[in-house]
Chains A and B, each alone.
Chain A
């Protein structure tokens, strides 16, 4: 059992939790992830390590409430326990040897991009961070991202923060203004990462993306998370989750991500109904 020691509502759909997991906290690195199971009937879901505190022995996760399991996780509070919490999994991002990096996060992906920016920034690398959100009221981690970068650009799809556009627009602008990036890290929805990769290909800039396929065990024993990278089958949980974005078969990954869409919708609907029932009976 793993105790929740901090819970912070970041916006309507996103929550941060710090969880006591001393063994994992000792080893975790930027780019790695954990798998958790809320209770005995629960499924195993992967979440990126957003931060860690080796001394306190805690791991920070940030999740978006998108379906039954994340909604169920969100019912837990400080002092409650998560049944299973497993990690650190996957390979750490290789951040050594770059001078000028653009770190790009899309929505909830900012929670994953932020630790990368923080790690790079603390190594003395020049970091431009570009964060994209649908609108102003769902912006998260603004202060943290600012502290972890030399420049922070936050775009909104609807322009409600005064900076309308997509993260691709912001990246193109920086490149055209003459910023010479030797690496772009992009983390967010698959379609966003694909758009970034198409752009960076034009300029021949190395681009790392963090893939988020469906996972079960997260240790390489099932291949549920497999992707085609450079024409070869790779398991995101052990070979990744970072990959060279110019090599990834996005079309396949996007299709595979929808494997259980109907079953997921149904589970979420049922769960919400039961929550409502509970609230009405209370």
Chain B
């Protein structure tokens, strides 16, 4: 009998006033009983609309059926056939706009907690699963992957499963991309990302860190080294600034720098050497997930007042509803319809206030969103000692500027064929934020998966000639 409850089985969470002082994971995950209960809410639809909402096509009803039957290992094996990083996706995917948006149960009530169940299964496997055995015959072909973020890791994992010898080149000292330096520990524990990466290594994927491609090796040199195809998954890691006065003051950070110091360099822990300013009052500018992450991180570093400053209204915020909700619960103050025009400092060059103007929404612009317009004379100041800019990132130009024949658009995004992920250069494929601009983890993984398929076709057809 299916569980006909109209709401999702709730997932336990740390209390807001406890968790905003620590870096432990906020959402605690389902127990076995909760998972079984939630799994029974799935109606096992014949046409599986949920699957079409998943960029990597996880066989959702099948794995949920196994959970309902108590066969967790079976469930895990089903997920693993299409998703290389289930413990990550279950945590950070915006399921409300993907798989769960298509769930039939969502028509009259809440959809099935697909993300929560995926997370449960992946965590179960990490705890209880038998070590995986790989029985893949090497096919003798070499592929290079540039960038060890979600796109690159997915592409590498899929190619390795097909028998390719894959080498991933990563510029930072740790693989994982945004999963390691961007998304905070309290949303995605780094130990979990590391385990997923270690599992890929066991599959035979070689990961070389400390390799800044474009500087230390070019794409041309990779081909000279015997790689038959190259995948570019270098993301969009170039932070934008507003170009307002005062962005050079001490205490102003890009969200990338702020989060990198905390997540990758672990500046919040005493035993690590990287320093960070622990501000008392912080303004975070922006309305996306990165802004929420930065604001909640600032709170955990001990800030008393953390403001989100966003120029549109809450309905227009690109951040996930759940993240906005969590941020509010943790005491983040939202200053909506409000835009910074300058940052003011003291004589030592340290931030002391941010000056904003109030905004109102005008006619919809080209993107369909109502354009914010400044209200004249509405200037006001908020006293802060730190400002974090979370207004978006652009693709890093390092690879495209050192690779001939690689076309990019006016935003610096690499141009690819929509279905094959082939770039304008033969044998070179690209996906993820490097192609789309800043988007989501799961879209990057979907692109990486598609590229792996195309690379396989490309190399096979070259050799069958």
Interface positions of A (Cβ within 8 A of B):
23-24, 27, 37, 41-44, 68-69, 83-89, 216-217, 219-224, 226-228, 233, 238, 249, 251-252, 255-256, 258-260, 263-264, 267
Interface assignment of B191: CB less than 8 Å from any CB of chain A:
no
Interface assignment of B224: CB less than 8 Å from any CB of chain A:
no
Q: How far is the CA of A10 from the CA of B271 in the complex (A)?
A: 31
CB of A217 within 8 A of CB of B172, answer yes
Interface assignment of B188: CB less than 8 Å from any CB of chain A:
no
> Chain A residues with Cβ under 8 A from B196's Cβ?
none
CB of B247 within 8 A of CB of A84, answer no
CB of A23 within 8 A of CB of B211, answer yes
CB of B260 within 8 A of CB of A222, answer yes
Write the chain A residue with the least CB distance to B238: A220
Q: How far is the CA of A219 from the CA of B274 in the complex (A)?
A: 17
Write the chain B residue with the least CB distance to A24: B216
Sample of 8 further A-B pairs with CB below 8 A, known A23-B217, A217-B260: A24-B216, A37-B173, A216-B257, A219-B172, A220-B396, A221-B256, A255-B349, A267-B273
Residue in B249, B250, B271, B398 whose beta carbon sits within 8 Å of that of A220 in the complex: B398
CB of A87 within 8 A of CB of B247, answer no
CB of B250 within 8 A of CB of A256, answer yes
Residue in B209, B215, B248, B254 whose beta carbon sits within 8 Å of that of A89 in the complex: B215
Q: How far is the CA of A238 from the CA of B397 in the complex (A)?
A: 10
List, sorted by A's number, 7 A–B pairs whose CB atoms are closer than 8 Å: A84-B210, A217-B171, A219-B398, A222-B254, A224-B254, A252-B248, A259-B250
Q: How far is the CB of B40 from chain A (nearest CB, A)?
A: 45
> Chain A residues with Cβ under 8 A from B253's Cβ?
224
Write the chain B residue with the least CB distance to A254: B349
> Chain B residues with Cβ under 8 A from A223's Cβ?
239, 241, 254, 256-257
Q: How far is the CB of B146 from chain A (nearest CB, A)?
A: 13
CB of B216 within 8 A of CB of A23, answer yes
> Chain B residues with Cβ under 8 A from A256's Cβ?
248, 250, 349
CB of A84 within 8 A of CB of B209, answer yes
Interface range on chain B: under 10, 10 to 19, 20 to 34, or 35 or more? 35 or more
> Chain B residues with Cβ under 8 A from A27's Cβ?
215-216
Chain B 270-295 interface mask (CB, 8 Å, partner A; 1/0): 01111101000000000000000000
Q: How far is the CA of A24 from the CA of B256 in the complex (A)?
A: 26
Q: How far is the CB of B168 from chain A (nearest CB, A)?
A: 15
Interface assignment of B212: CB less than 8 Å from any CB of chain A:
yes
Q: How far is the CB of B92 from chain A (nearest CB, A)?
A: 19
CB of B212 within 8 A of CB of A219, answer yes
CB of B256 within 8 A of CB of A85, answer no
CB of B248 within 8 A of CB of A88, answer no
Q: How far is the CA of A222 from the CA of B178 in the complex (A)?
A: 12
Write the chain B residue with the least CB distance to A235: B238
Q: How far is the CB of B318 from chain A (nearest CB, A)?
A: 21
> Chain A residues with Cβ under 8 A from B260's Cβ?
216-217, 221-222
Q: How far is the CB of A161 from chain B (nearest CB, A)?
A: 36
Interface assignment of B348: CB less than 8 Å from any CB of chain A:
yes
Interface positions of B (Cβ within 8 A of A):
171-173, 209-212, 215-217, 237-239, 241, 243, 247-251, 253-254, 256-257, 260-261, 265, 271-275, 277, 348-349, 396, 398
> Chain B residues with Cβ under 8 A from A86's Cβ?
171, 173, 210, 212
CB of B257 within 8 A of CB of A222, answer yes
Q: How far is the CB of B211 from chain A (nearest CB, A)?
A: 7
Q: How far is the CB of B143 from chain A (nearest CB, A)?
A: 19
Q: How far is the CB of A193 from chain B (nearest CB, A)?
A: 17
CB of A264 within 8 A of CB of B250, answer no
Q: How far is the CA of A27 from the CA of B217 in the complex (A)?
A: 8
Q: How far is the CA of A259 from the CA of B386 in the complex (A)?
A: 12
Q: How far is the CA of A223 from the CA of B241 in the complex (A)?
A: 9
Residue in B171, B241, B243, B349 whose beta carbon sits within 8 Å of that of A252 in the complex: B349
> Chain B residues with Cβ under 8 A from A84's Cβ?
173, 209-210
> Chain A residues with Cβ under 8 A from B210's Cβ?
84-86
Q: How far is the CA of A84 from the CA of B211 in the complex (A)?
A: 10
Q: How far is the CA of A83 from the CA of B172 in the complex (A)?
A: 12
CB of B250 within 8 A of CB of A255, answer yes
Q: How far is the CA of A228 from the CA of B273 in the complex (A)?
A: 28
> Chain A residues with Cβ under 8 A from B172's Cβ?
217, 219
Q: How far is the CB of B134 from chain A (nearest CB, A)?
A: 27
Q: How far is the CA of A255 from the CA of B349 in the complex (A)?
A: 6
Max chain A C-beta neighbours (<10 A), residue from B210, B248, B251, B275: B210
Q: How far is the CB of A97 from chain B (nearest CB, A)?
A: 23
Q: How far is the CA of A154 from the CA of B165 in the complex (A)?
A: 56
CB of B398 within 8 A of CB of A260, answer no
CB of A263 within 8 A of CB of B209, answer no
> Chain B residues with Cβ under 8 A from A267's Cβ?
273, 275
Query: Contacts A221-B256, A252-B248 hold; do A233 and B241 have CB atoms under 8 A apart?
Result: yes
Query: Contacts A42-B273, A259-B277 hold; do A233 and B250 have CB atoms under 8 A apart?
Result: no
> Chain B residues with Cβ under 8 A from A43's Cβ?
265, 272-275
Q: How far is the CB of A270 from chain B (nearest CB, A)?
A: 10
CB of B348 within 8 A of CB of A255, answer yes
5 A-B pairs with least C-beta separation = A255-B349, A222-B257, A221-B237, A263-B275, A43-B273
CB of B248 within 8 A of CB of A222, answer no
Q: How far is the CA of A88 from the CA of B215 in the complex (A)?
A: 6
Q: How far is the CA of A221 from the CA of B261 in the complex (A)?
A: 12
> Chain A residues with Cβ under 8 A from B256's Cβ?
221-223
Q: How far is the CB of A24 from chain B (nearest CB, A)?
A: 6
Residue in B212, B261, B349 whose beta carbon sits within 8 Å of that of A87 in the complex: B212
Write the chain B residue with the least CB distance to A221: B237
